[in-house]
Amino acid sequence: MEIGSEQNCSKPEERCVLVCQHTSCLAAGSAAVLAAFEAAQTEFTVKGCGCQGQCSSGPTVRIIPEETWYCRVQPNDVPLIVEQHLIGGKPVEDKLHPRIHQRFNF
């Protein structure tokens, strides 16, 4: 498993799913979340990353360059995020990080 930051994720224009693999998120199950994204992935890059500063609400998933942040993501959330958001273009509102996103802001 490669742990990287957005700085070495990929080309700037390429969509990338960053799944925090730091202490708090790992304790909340983020290794399985990363594995679920890797298993489901189609046209996007998936990487484990360091702490994203949202430790109390992990596992944290950040999608760049659009800057969509999901909180408390569990492996069974991944298929919906992939299908509805990454493929379908509509973020999964129930999992958006409330400190970063206002509801119905899309």
d(CA 80, CA 51): 24
d(CA 34, CA 47): 7
Tell me how far, at minimum, the Cβ of 20 lies from ligand FES, in Å.
3
* Residues of span 31-70 touching ligand FES by CB under 6 A: 51-55, 58, 60
Tell me how far, at minimum, the Cβ of 1 lies from ligand FES, in Å.
15
- Total chain residues near ligand FES (CB under 6 A): 12
Q: CB nearer to ligand FES: give 30 or 82.
A: 30
83 closest CA partner among 47, 30, 40, 38: 40
Q: CB nearer to ligand FES: give 73 or 82.
A: 73
Q: CB nearer to ligand FES: give 22 or 95.
A: 22
The answer to whether 78 and 37 have CB atoms below 8 angstroms apart is: yes
Contacts of 67 (CB under 8 A, 6+ apart): none
54 closest CA partner among 36, 30, 35, 82: 30
Q: CB nearer to ligand FES: give 60 or 68.
A: 60
Does position 100 interact with ligand FES (CB under 6 A)? The reply is: no
